[in-house]
Amino acid sequence: MEQNSKILKEILDEIKDIRRSINIIAATQRDKAKDSLSKLKGKRKKMYNMFNGKNSLEDISKKLKTTHENVRQFSIECEKAGLVEFFKGKRGIKYPKKII
């Protein structure tokens, strides 16, 4: 029993070290992402603000009077940059949601 406790403590310590390392890496990426977001202007800024997981790409394009393709391409750029993730809704419709 004591051996199991020792092993579990070692695992927990290792997990804490991994988490610290991930936080350091993530902080750098987060800073880059925030810098990119601060440069957004016009429709792209409005698009990003509408990426709340409730608006579909089609909804956003209609509200901003732009093409679905413009919104789709920008959302993919954001996804690749780690700023957005997609959720599938009814009938496979994609809903972008900002992470930062």
Which structural domain, as residue segments, surrounds residue 64?
A: 41-100
Asked if residue 31 has pLDDT above 80, the reply is no
d(CA 58, CA 90): 13
Instruction: List, for residues 40-86, the tens digit of each pLDDT value.
Output: 899 999 999 999 999 999 999 999 999 999 999 999 988 888 889 99
Does residue 47 sit in the same domain as residue 94?
yes
Q: Band of the pLDDT at 94, cuts 50, 70, 90?
A: confident
> What's this model's pTM, rounded to 2 decimal places?
0.66
- Compute the radius of gyration of the chain from its Cα atoms: 19
Q: Band of the pLDDT at 24, cuts 50, 70, 90?
A: confident
Secondary structure class of 62 (helix, strand, coil) = helix
Identify residue 27 by its one-letter amino acid code: A
- What is the CATH classification number for the domain harbouring 80? 1.10.10.10
Residues 74/80, Cβ–Cβ less than 8 Å: no
